[in-house]
Structure 1
Amino acid sequence: MVLIAAAVCTKNGKVIISRQFVEMTKARIEGLLAAFPKLMTTGKQHTYVETESVRYVYQPMERLYMLLITTKASNILEDLETLRLFSKVIPEYCHTLDEKEILENAFNLIFAFDEIVALGYRESVNLKQIKTFTEMDSHEEKVYQAVRQTQEREAHQKMREKAKELQRQRLEAAKRGGSSSLGGRTTHGSGISGLDAFGISSSSVSSTPSIESDLKPTVQKTQKPAARNALKLGGKTKDVDSFVDQLKSEGEKISSLTPASAQSSAAVAKTKIASDVHTESVHLKMEDKLTVRLGRDGGLQQFELSGLLTLRISDENFGRIKVHLRNNDSHGIQLQTHPNVDKELFKTRSVIGLKNPAKPFPLNTDVGVLKWRFITQDESAIPLTINCWPSENGEGGCDVNIEYELEAQHLELQDVSIAIPLPMNIQPSVAEYDGTYNYDARKHILQWNIPIIDGNNKSGSMEFSCNSSIPGDFFPLQVSFVSKTPYAALSATDVVLVDDDSAVKYSSETMLFVEKYEIV
């Protein structure tokens, strides 16, 4: 066959993109494309039109036409096969088949067209090879990127070391400048603030609190301007700015020290479940983070639970408090308190309180006071089991049965999503399912969504079939969910003042979210 040109046009005949493969004048190709709208017919999926000199082979694609212009001597069967390959290429680069999307991805489509046809003749390539060729995967480029990333990490490490050195200098300046006012501490006057007394770093104010953060004292405004300037919370010194500017001038990409948690799946899960929580002057937040890896043939490969209890006080009258906890754990979860928390008081009475009761907790800051961790290989710890059973159907495809069952029936899982990978360009035929599902043709994923899994709805299943597939195509499965019920059996029972043990009104929120939950 000799393929003259390939084009994508609207059903009104407007040409969006066109690529010619043989030497031809611009006027000639424009004339051929302009003649096509007058010759085409409607109501057929695959059709062609011939003139005295050329043959138009075209296929409707929603509101567009995929058009090939060939010589009359070309093989019509080869033309149709080439047309099908062109039609498969377009959805790989365009989310929707409309004029705007085609124009935005015009160059990618033209590069892909060039991989299919060279000098008018069809190349022996498939869709996977086309994607590989257009991506231009280069080993040298990967090596360069790896070296570049190493340089960036070294620069970031150097920047953090410099920042810690400046913190130590400010710490020494704080001791020298604030020594005269240590004896007369007031809430709004000079002296050490609650944040300095508890030893929380500035990073715990701007991002997720960490029990192991570096100690960074903060002094509120004093009568001495020098001390105020040296100890301003979060203030950047000229040395830090100049150091960052120097790194940027050398071509380094400097990112903020605060992680962009909004982009992480954990942050998205937190936002979903904690959007309407009412908070009192004393607010407790308990977070459980779950990482689970299960084998496709059964068996637990990894189970890790990590959690954090944070305390936030917004009223200075409740700065000196104690938090009573109830620990009904039966799994053997390891607990660890903050260094400034009285460990003996917690071990003997399960009470969170400071070692020095005279000092208050910091105000308006999420303070991590207790963390826990649990790692096991015991399959009874799995909260949700997923059984994916693909079997070959004897016709070159697979019939897939997937079922879930809630094992930890005290949990109520919300927004459960199970992502099932599929073979490329194979649309599944779903027979039965609980909940809802969505097929993402671009990502080749079948998304199974269940709004709630609890004791009343603890199991469900889905059945579907796929042509041209093998059982290994449907792994690994990715699972995500959130829950207002914590996995760890820890809860707050009371909050009291240190002085007279009178009860303090408080609010609390608990959340369980998935960092990674997969069946491999």
Structure 2
Amino acid sequence: MVLIASAVCTKSGKVIISRQFVEMTKARIEGLLAAFPKLMTTGKQHTFVETDSVRYVYQPMEKLYMLLITTKASNILEDLETLRLFSKVIPEYCHSLEEKEIVENAFNLIFAFDEIVALGYRESVNLAQIKTFVEMDSHEEKVYQAVRQSQEREAKQKMREKAKELQRQRMEAAKRGGGIGNSGSKRGYYGFGDGFGSSGGISNTTAITTPSIDVSSNDIKPTVNPTKPASKNALKLGGKSKDVDTFVDQLKSEGEKISNLTPASVTPSAVSKPKIASDVHTESVHLKMEDKIVVRLGRDGGLQTFELSGLLTLRISDEKFGKIKVALENNDTRGIQLQTHPNVDKELFKSKCCIGLKNPAKPFPLNTDVGVLKWRYQTQDDSAVPLTINCWPSENGDGGCDVNIEYELECQRLELQDVCITIPLPMSVHPNVGECDGTYTFDSRKHNLQWNLPIIDASNKAGSLEFSCASSIPGDFFPLQVSFVSKTPYADLKAKEVIALEDETPVKFSKETFLFVDKYEIV
């Protein structure tokens, strides 16, 4: 078949859009389209009408006609099949079959027409392929965008590290105090204080303006020595003082929250572990049990990685309770591997499940968190997962996806707090949330949706979230990240009693337990 042109026109003959596929003058095409309404026979239903040179194949669509102009030698059956494909394309891009809607989506329709016919001949394509070709969804573009986002994150991380380094240098300089001395020529290292003495290397006849930096507010306030008049040629410091805060100011301008760091506020434990509010009254003998898990689940189900590591620490604040032993109750049935500290009596632990020193004459260290027992557990058993997440994105036919996510608490003796499920989203796409158990937050800068649940326990062991996103594919919503804390440890291990070695009497003790996530993701 040879397809000359395609057009969408009204029943009165007005052409809305037209696309020609062979070399032909504009006047000739306009003449063929103008002749079509004159050839229509009133009161009779046909799918085509012919002249001496061409054939018109058409299909009514409410108040419009989908029209194809072909040669008379073309196969009428192929013409009708092509006409049906053209008719299916129009509702894909137009919500209603009206003239205004056709005009608004004219370019998309013309692009789709070009995918159906090339140089007058029908291409072997279906409706789904046409939509993909018109959208021009490129894997290379997605890779480029992913690399670009990664580079942006690395650059921001370097900026934060540089800001912290500059902050640390300023605080070190503030501690040193005094005058500039021989290091005054170095940019960014200014002396801090109320003024300089004669040892500062600057004449006493010169007024000095030095910046004093308030670390808590990051504001630079000049302090002037009021006892000496300022001369015109006086040395002035602080002209480049704003350079110290270049990275900090840039981060603030981008909307980042910059907290003021002091050496005492940044500790490895504060960075690596989440803060859990503890209301436990601390006794002279205090036990703390920490569990940390790493979980990796497949998006189609199945456990890929499960690692549990734990530590039991003992802290004694009164020297009279230094010689004790701790009786534990081990109800584990999974096969968790336990390992005691080298100074702990292993035989006592194996026989009676008690923590005591090898040398009973020696006391435990005072006012120190002593790790006495640690454990580890790895498995590929799906039943070990405490919380399962089922994310089910499906294409909705409009170029986007409908996403259903549900959670279920598998280990019902746990009570999970501050649960946050982070779902990545495509760039520049706003989710339309339907149903949600709990609350949600959309972060447009990080391109993710955060589903927040304050507590998940046996009474609230399941929930779901439903939302839709335009211009997306199912792979855009992975990997999911999950975080939570719990005051119930994963290992079924607990302290039963503390006994004094001298008289075998029980000792009053306090204890706290918690579980936190190192990494929990669905990929």
Structure 1 residues 423 and 326: CA distance shift in structure 2, 3 A? same
Equivalent residue for 2:286, pick from 283, 288, 297: 283
The answer to whether the Cα contact below 8 Å between 1:283 and 1:507 also exists between their aligned partners in 2 is yes
Instruction: Identify the residue that residue 385 of structure 1 maps to in structure 2.
Output: 388
Alignment of 1:24-39 (within 5 A): none
Alignment of 1:451-470 (within 5 A): 451-470=454-473
Structure 1 residues 502 and 389: CA distance shift in structure 2, 3 A? same
Q: Secondary structure at the match of 2:419?
A: strand
The answer to whether the Cα contact below 8 Å between 1:273 and 1:482 also exists between their aligned partners in 2 is no
- Name structure 1 gaps, 5 residues minimum: 1-76, 78-125, 146-254
- CA distance in 1 between partners of 2:489 and 2:458 (Å): 15
Give a deviation string over 1:212-252, Cα, whole Å, max 9, x none.
xxxxxxxxxxxxxxxxxxxxxxxxxxxxxxxxxxxxxxxxx
In the TM superposition, residue 278 of structure 1 has moved relative to its aligned partner by: 1.4
Instruction: Identify the residue that residue 320 of structure 2 maps to in structure 1.
Output: 317
TM-score by length of 2: 0.50
Instruction: Identify the residue that residue 337 of structure 1 maps to in structure 2.
Output: 340
Structure 1 residues 130 and 453: CA distance shift in structure 2, 3 A? closer
Q: Secondary structure at the match of 2:411?
A: coil
Equivalent residue for 1:517, pick from 496, 511, 520: 520
Q: Secondary structure at the match of 1:517?
A: strand
Alignment of 1:3-152 (within 5 A): none
- CA distance in 1 between partners of 2:479 and 2:316 (Å): 43
In the TM superposition, residue 500 of structure 1 has moved relative to its aligned partner by: 1.0
Q: Secondary structure at the match of 1:272?
A: coil
In the TM superposition, residue 510 of structure 1 has moved relative to its aligned partner by: 0.4
The answer to whether the Cα contact below 8 Å between 1:326 and 1:490 also exists between their aligned partners in 2 is yes
Structure 1 residue ranges (4+ consecutive) displaced by more than 6 angstroms after TM superposition: 126-137
- CA distance in 1 between partners of 2:426 and 2:345 (Å): 56
- CA distance in 2 between partners of 1:129 and 1:300 (Å): 31
Instruction: Identify the residue that residue 349 of structure 1 maps to in structure 2.
Output: 352
Equivalent residue for 2:269, pick from 247, 251, 261: 261
Instruction: Identify the residue that residue 493 of structure 2 maps to in structure 1.
Output: 490
Instruction: Identify the residue that residue 396 of structure 1 maps to in structure 2.
Output: 399
Provide the alpha-carbon RMSD of the alignment.
3.3
Structure 1 residues 460 and 354: CA distance shift in structure 2, 3 A? same
Alignment of 1:215-254 (within 5 A): none
- CA distance in 1 between partners of 2:356 and 2:512 (Å): 20
- CA distance in 2 between partners of 1:429 and 1:358 (Å): 68
Structure 1 residues 330 and 273: CA distance shift in structure 2, 3 A? farther
In the TM superposition, residue 128 of structure 1 has moved relative to its aligned partner by: 10
The answer to whether the Cα contact below 8 Å between 1:273 and 1:484 also exists between their aligned partners in 2 is no
- CA distance in 2 between partners of 1:136 and 1:436 (Å): 31
Q: Which AA in structure 2 matches 1:261?
A: S
Structure 1 residues 314 and 487: CA distance shift in structure 2, 3 A? same
- CA distance in 2 between partners of 1:135 and 1:303 (Å): 27
Q: Which AA in structure 2 matches 1:260?
A: P
Equivalent residue for 1:272, pick from 272, 276, 284: 276
In the TM superposition, residue 129 of structure 1 has moved relative to its aligned partner by: 7.5
- CA distance in 2 between partners of 1:128 and 1:495 (Å): 58
Structure 1 residues 136 and 343: CA distance shift in structure 2, 3 A? closer
Structure 1 residues 372 and 457: CA distance shift in structure 2, 3 A? same
Q: Secondary structure at the match of 2:343?
A: coil
The answer to whether the Cα contact below 8 Å between 1:411 and 1:485 also exists between their aligned partners in 2 is yes
Task: Report whether the alignment pairs 1:303 with 2:303.
Answer: no
Instruction: Identify the residue that residue 102 of structure 1 maps to in structure 2.
Output: none
Instruction: Identify the residue that residue 500 of structure 1 maps to in structure 2.
Output: 503
Equivalent residue for 1:411, pick from 414, 422, 440: 414
- CA distance in 1 between partners of 2:146 and 2:433 (Å): 28
Q: Which AA in structure 1 matches 2:270?
A: A
In the TM superposition, residue 133 of structure 1 has moved relative to its aligned partner by: 8.0
Task: Report whether the alignment pairs 1:441 with 2:444.
Answer: yes
In the TM superposition, residue 261 of structure 1 has moved relative to its aligned partner by: 2.7
Structure 1 residues 383 and 135: CA distance shift in structure 2, 3 A? closer
Q: Which AA in structure 2 matches 1:390?
A: P
Structure 1 residues 425 and 128: CA distance shift in structure 2, 3 A? farther
Task: Report whether the alignment pairs 1:374 with 2:397.
Answer: no
Q: Which AA in structure 1 matches 2:361?
A: A
Q: Which has the higher contact order (CA 8 A, sep 6+)?
A: 1
TM-score by length of 1: 0.51
Equivalent residue for 2:434, pick from 428, 431, 434: 431
In the TM superposition, residue 132 of structure 1 has moved relative to its aligned partner by: 7.6
Instruction: Identify the residue that residue 27 of structure 1 maps to in structure 2.
Output: none
Structure 1 residues 136 and 450: CA distance shift in structure 2, 3 A? closer
- CA distance in 2 between partners of 1:489 and 1:135 (Å): 40
Give a deviation string over 1:58-83, Cα, whole Å, max 9, x none.
xxxxxxxxxxxxxxxxxxx9xxxxxx
Structure 1 residues 433 and 135: CA distance shift in structure 2, 3 A? closer
The answer to whether the Cα contact below 8 Å between 1:322 and 1:495 also exists between their aligned partners in 2 is yes
- CA distance in 2 between partners of 1:405 and 1:499 (Å): 49
Task: Report whether the alignment pairs 1:358 with 2:366.
Answer: no
The answer to whether the Cα contact below 8 Å between 1:273 and 1:483 also exists between their aligned partners in 2 is no
In the TM superposition, residue 134 of structure 1 has moved relative to its aligned partner by: 11
The answer to whether the Cα contact below 8 Å between 1:273 and 1:511 also exists between their aligned partners in 2 is no
Give a deviation string over 1:285-315, Cα, whole Å, max 9, x none.
0000010000000000000000000000000
Q: Secondary structure at the match of 1:390?
A: strand
Q: Secondary structure at the match of 1:456?
A: helix
Structure 1 residues 502 and 420: CA distance shift in structure 2, 3 A? same
Give a deviation string over 1:175-224, Cα, whole Å, max 9, x none.
xxxxxxxxxxxxxxxxxxxxxxxxxxxxxxxxxxxxxxxxxxxxxxxxxx
In the TM superposition, residue 344 of structure 1 has moved relative to its aligned partner by: 0.3
- CA distance in 1 between partners of 2:149 and 2:390 (Å): 37
- CA distance in 2 between partners of 1:367 and 1:391 (Å): 52
Structure 1 residues 499 and 506: CA distance shift in structure 2, 3 A? same
- CA distance in 1 between partners of 2:151 and 2:315 (Å): 52
Q: Secondary structure at the match of 1:346?
A: helix
Give a deviation string over 1:123-180, Cα, whole Å, max 9, x none.
xxx999899889989x9x9xxx9xxxxxxxxxxxxxxxxxxxxxxxxxxxxxxxxxxx
Give a deviation string over 1:407-455, Cα, whole Å, max 9, x none.
0000000100000000001000000010000000000010000111000
Q: Secondary structure at the match of 2:504?
A: coil
In the TM superposition, residue 324 of structure 1 has moved relative to its aligned partner by: 0.4
- CA distance in 1 between partners of 2:149 and 2:489 (Å): 47
Task: Report whether the alignment pairs 1:294 with 2:302.
Answer: no
- Name structure 2 gaps, 5 residues minimum: 1-103, 105-140, 159-262
